[in-house]
């Protein structure tokens, strides 16, 4: 299950200005509309903004909020923040674009341009997310107060302490600059039944962060000539339904543009989860589903696509997927406490996950939280469900910076996030979330932020202070 962990947005706000200097809009309709709006915004001329709104905002959206109202919003934002300079894409799909921007005031804002689901994907509205969802641009946005590094860390620590006392956060957090750990701490309980506290070395479920490891495995094998990312997947999975496998390429799976179905839903709910142990066990959950769209025409998050990538890794390498990841990613990176542990394994110092169960549940008393054990498979998949620690994920980011896992030469389009830019800087944000867990890893310039949690995803929304930046 996908989530844009709130901690990612907060972390970059705390470290404002650390994003990579280069920026390129994705090749999508919504990105073109967003680029046009920002260009008009930065002219400082209301007539240019009005013309941009007329050209790039849908009629349905204008019927709800007039052009005059939207121009008034522009005026407030422009007066408050000055020019907006995009620095990084956080998330991109056909119906939205989430980016980070630097302002003339030295702030960093997290902006989502929301678009209609159908082409030409005209804009519906704008959200400014400073530390959490909501914050629609119709409301004035409070400017971030720049803080030095020490003050920012103390504020973050105090906020996490307060949230833990309110039972709104449980997990562990780390901030590093280069090889120096500036802050790390643990909060709440790994087991509420046994009242075992979380520790900074506790193993947490990292959800979809495992997709990054799968992507790296594909990149490694592509660099060796064992995978052609532009080949259709029937080359590697001849037993997968031909009507799908002959249309979808490896690259489309990597980019969530293959239209492949999800592993979750009714088949998963009804499945004997004790039998979900190997990559091949997951494929029957979605292999008979028709493609959601013609491959390459849209982008839609697909766990099933990454399960298929795991199967392709097995075919191309001749190794079991889990063995391959251990040998070629975890071991070279020095990740000694990271694995797809099975439920039947006796693993010390592992956090249980707790959830309220509903997709949009509001925070309630801890007594109403339930253990997520019944929703977990025997073993996670190439799409997610492995476990890791703060230290291991920091080691992973160091391995990426040092190009121990993949080299810049020969990777090709679509793998740029895995290696440093020519100036040596990196910008990477990955997250994972599901009932009972939330995890994020952020590389922003010289900084690395890791936050792992064993509470329901929605309990984390809105919990981190939005008024922190770094100067």
Q: What is the pLDDT of residues 153-170, one digit of tens each?
A: 887 788 788 878 878 789
Query: CA dist 211 to 4, 202, 293, 328, Å?
Result: 14, 21, 22, 15
Contact 233, 250 (CB under 8 A): yes
The predicted-structure confidence for 171-195, as pLDDT tens digits, reads as follows 999 999 988 999 999 999 999 999 9
CA atoms within 13 A on the CB side of 210: 30
* Per-position b or e across 405-419, b if 16+ CB within 10 A of its CB: bbeeeebeebbeebb
CA–CA gap between residue 19 and residue 34 (Å, rounded): 19
Q: Looking at residue 165, what is its pLDDT?
A: 85
Domains of the chain: 7-143 (3.10.450.280), 146-471 (3.40.710.10)
Q: How far apart are CA 434 and CA 458, in angstroms?
A: 9
- Residue 114's DSSP bridge partners are 96, 125
* Count of Cβ atoms closer than 10 Å to residue 213 Cβ: 28
Alpha-carbon gap, residue 168 to 161, rounded angstroms: 10
What span, in angstroms and rounded, lies between the C-alpha atoms of 285 and 214?
19
Phi, psi of 362 (to 5 degrees): -85, 150
Q: What is the pLDDT of residue 418?
A: 82
Instruction: Check: CB of residue 119 under 8 Å from CB of residue 145.
Output: no
pLDDT of residue 59: 86
pLDDT value, residue 62: 81
Q: How far, in Å, CA of 449 to CA of 466, rounded?
A: 16
Residues of the chain with pLDDT under 70: 1-22, 105-106, 129-147, 356-367, 409-414, 423, 456-471
């Amino acid at each position: 299950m996908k989530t844009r962990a709130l901690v990612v947005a907060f972390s970059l706000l705390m470290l404002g200005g650390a994003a990579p200097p280069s920026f390129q809009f994705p090749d999508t309709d919504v990105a073109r509309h967003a680029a046009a709006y920002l260009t008009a915004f930065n002219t400082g001329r209301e007539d240019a903004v009005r013309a941009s709104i007329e050209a790039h905002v849908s009629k349905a959206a204008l019927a709800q909020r007039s052009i005059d109202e939207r121009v008034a919003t522009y005026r407030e934002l422009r007066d408050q923040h000055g020019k907006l300079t995009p620095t990084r894409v956080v998330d991109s799909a056909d119906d939205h674009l989430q980016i980070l921007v630097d302002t003339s005031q030295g702030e960093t804002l997290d902006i989502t341009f929301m678009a209609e689901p159908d082409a030409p994907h005209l804009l519906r509205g704008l959200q400014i997310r400073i530390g959490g969802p909501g914050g629609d641009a119709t409301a004035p946005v409070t400017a971030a107060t720049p803080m030095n590094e020490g003050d920012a860390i103390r504020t973050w620590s105090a906020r996490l302490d307060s949230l833990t006392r309110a039972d709104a956060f449980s997990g562990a957090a780390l901030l590093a600059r280069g090889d120096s750990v500036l802050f790390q701490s643990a909060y709440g309980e790994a087991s509420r039944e046994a009242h075992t506290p979380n520790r900074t070395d506790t193993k947490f479920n990292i959800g979809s962060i495992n997709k990054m490891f799968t992507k790296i495995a594909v990149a490694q094998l592509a660099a060796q000539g064992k995978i052609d990312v532009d080949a259709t997947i029937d080359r590697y999975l001849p037993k997968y339904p031909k009507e799908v496998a002959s249309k979808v390429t490896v690259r489309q799976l990597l980019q969530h543009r293959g239209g492949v179905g999800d592993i979750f839903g009714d088949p998963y709910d009804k499945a004997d989860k004790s039998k979900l142990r190997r990559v091949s066990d997951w494929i029957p959950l979605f292999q008979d589903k028709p493609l959601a769209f013609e491959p390459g025409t849209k982008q839609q998050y697909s766990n099933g696509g990454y399960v298929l990538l795991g199967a392709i890794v097995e075919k191309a390498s001749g190794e079991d997927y889990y063995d391959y990841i251990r040998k070629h990613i975890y071991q070279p990176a020095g990740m000694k406490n990271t694995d797809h542990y099975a439920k039947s394994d006796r693993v010390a110092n592992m956090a249980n996950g707790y959830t309220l169960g509903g997709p949009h549940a509001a925070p309630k008393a801890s007594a109403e939280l339930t253990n997520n054990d019944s929703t977990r498979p025997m073993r996670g998949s190439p799409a997610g469900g492995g476990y890791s620690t703060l230290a291991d994920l920091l080691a992973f980011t160091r391995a990426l910076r040092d190009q121990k896992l993949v080299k810049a030469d020969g990777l090709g389009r679509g793998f740029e996030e895995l290696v440093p830019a020519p100036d040596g800087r990196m910008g990477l944000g990955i997250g994972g979330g599901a009932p009972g867990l939330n995890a994020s890893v952020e590389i922003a310039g010289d900084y690395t932020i890791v936050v792992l949690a064993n509470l329901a995803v929605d309990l984390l929304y809105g919990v981190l202070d939005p008024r922190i930046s770094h100067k």
